Amino acid sequence: MSANDSTVPVKTAVILLNMGGPQNKDEVHPYLKELFQDRELLKLPFQKILGNFIAWRRTPKIQERYAEIGQYSPTLKLMEKQAEQISKKLDEVHPESAPHACVSGFRYSSPRTGEMIKNFENAERIVLFSQYPQHSCSTSGSSLCDAYRWLDKNKAGKHNGKISVIDQWWDREDYTELWAFLIKRKFEEMKKAHGLQDEEIRIIYSAHSLPESYCLEKGDKYNEEITGSYENIEKVLKKEGLKHEGALAWQSKVGPQRTKWLTPGTPTVIAETTQKAILMVPIAFTTDHIETLDEIDIEFRGYAEEVVDHFARVDCFNLEEKFIDLCVRLVIKHMEEKYNSSIRPCCVNCEGKDCSAMRQFFGSKPVHQTA
Residue 108 CA: distances (Å) to CA of 21, 116, 146, 264, 289 = 7, 14, 10, 28, 14
Asked, colleague to colleague, whether 12-170+322-361 and 173-313 share their fold, the answer is yes
Name the pLDDT band for 369 (thresholds 50, 70, 90). very low
- Interior angle at CA 78, CA 296 and CA 119, nearest 5: 135
**27 carries an active-site annotation:** no
Q: Which of 66, 108, 175, 303 does the annotation list as catalytic?
A: 108
What are the extents of the domains in the chain? Answer: 12-170+322-361, 173-313
Q: Report the pLDDT value the prediction gives residue 157, as an integer from 0 to 100.
A: 56
Q: Report the pLDDT value the prediction gives residue 28, as an integer from 0 to 100.
A: 94
Q: Report the pLDDT value the prediction gives residue 367, as an integer from 0 to 100.
A: 45
Contacts of 195 (CB under 8 A, 6+ apart): none
pLDDT in tens, 249-305: 999 886 666 789 999 999 999 999 999 999 999 999 999 999 999 999 999 999 999
Q: What is the DSSP letter of 87?
A: H
Task: Tell me the percentage of the chain whose pLDDT exceeds 90.
Answer: 87
The size of the chain, in residues, is 371
Q: Report the pLDDT value the prediction gives residue 3, as an integer from 0 to 100.
A: 47
Q: Which of 34, 167, 295, 297 does the annotation list as catalytic?
A: 295
Looking at every residue in the chain, the average pLDDT score rounds to: 93
Q: Which of 135, 202, 208, 289 does the annotation list as catalytic?
A: 208
**152 carries an active-site annotation:** no
If one looks up domain 12-170+322-361 in CATH, what number appears?
3.40.50.1400
If one looks up domain 173-313 in CATH, what number appears?
3.40.50.1400
Rounded CA gap, 58 and 48, in Å?
15
Average confidence (pLDDT) over 15-34: 95
Q: Report the pLDDT value the prediction gives residue 154, as an integer from 0 to 100.
A: 87
Residues 18/79, Cβ–Cβ less than 8 Å = yes
pTM: 0.94
4-13, 75-84, 271-280: lowest mean pLDDT where? 4-13
pLDDT in tens, 310-325: 999 999 999 999 999 9
**108 carries an active-site annotation:** yes
pLDDT(156) > 90:
no
- Interior angle at CA 354, CA 351 and CA 359, nearest 5: 110
Name the pLDDT band for 6 (thresholds 50, 70, 90). very low
Average confidence (pLDDT) over 65-78: 93
Rounded CA gap, 199 and 206, in Å?
20
**125 carries an active-site annotation:** no
Rounded CA gap, 73 and 309, in Å?
30
Average confidence (pLDDT) over 195-213: 97
The type of residue at 275 is Q
Rounded CA gap, 204 and 191, in Å?
16
Q: Which of 38, 40, 146, 288 does the annotation list as catalytic?
A: 288
